[in-house]
Amino acid sequence: MTLVITQKTNILPEQMGPGALTRVMIDAEGAGGHLVRRLVDVAADGSYAGMTGGGGELWFVIAGAAELEVQGAGASRTFRVGRDQGLRVPAGAMYRLRPAGREPVQLDVVSLPGPFVSAKGCEVLTVDLAECEVETTGDRRFRVLFGPGRGCAAATQFVGEIPPGRAPEHSHPYDEVVLILAGQGVVHTGGGTVHPLTAGSCVHLPPGQPHCLENTGDEPLMVLGVFHPGGSPAQKERR
């Protein structure tokens, strides 16, 4: 596995229903299968529909509000979701999302590896970012939305805040996919290699990849990360 860096503006979108565009930002082969990250944009009068794979999906609402209908095991439920909310959508479930107001909706969707299974229900777990405990590692703050012991044994979803400056180079024992939500910076990947990052940049860091994120701006660098298998953002292997 190798390092992959993409930018939303450079990815051609695919039509996924009326008024819904998806961009495959990362499709990485990791532990147990493919870890796929998509950015989904749904127009105010559009809808986004699909079916989760065997590992289920982790969603994060970047912008807008919507109604999400989920079907599984002969049952159906509707959820109201909004900005800065994380969702754990179960494996093998069919879903349809429609914006709830006049504003478009933007989603981050990470499909987790796993063998195909039929849906055992339509239960969706939701969590508000503001209700998650603030944790720290060095001078960096993060909030874990889902992870082992927090509604998702298979993976971890978190939002991190990086102040201006850089941390020591390190690596992780798991696959990490990082989306830049706001700010500007660079990722150092060993050997003096530096890649620029702006809002909409996405990075896949395979296990053991030396790296560090540097905030080169004046405002916090906000990142949305997913680890697979699950782990803590504080779990680092120093170089």
Q: What's the pLDDT tens digit per position in 2-21? A: 788 999 999 999 998 899 99
The class (CATH top level) of 130-233 is mainly beta
- Specify which residues 82 forms β-bridges with: 65
The answer to whether 11-127 and 130-233 have equal CATH topology is yes
Enumerate residues 6+ apart whose C-beta is below 8 A from 63.
Answer: 83, 103, 104, 105, 106
The arithmetic mean of pLDDT across residues 230-234, rounded, is 72
For domain 11-127, the CATH superfamily is Jelly Rolls (2.60.120.10)
Cis peptide before 229 (omega within 30 of 0): yes
Q: pLDDT: is 16 or 159 the higher one?
A: 159
What percentage of the chain exceeds 70 in pLDDT? 92
pTM for this structure? 0.93
Q: Is 144 helix (H, G, I), strand (E, B) or coil?
A: strand
Of 218 and 193, the structure prediction assigns the larger pLDDT to: 218
What mean pLDDT do residues 73-84 have?
90
Domain-wise residue ranges, the chain? 11-127, 130-233
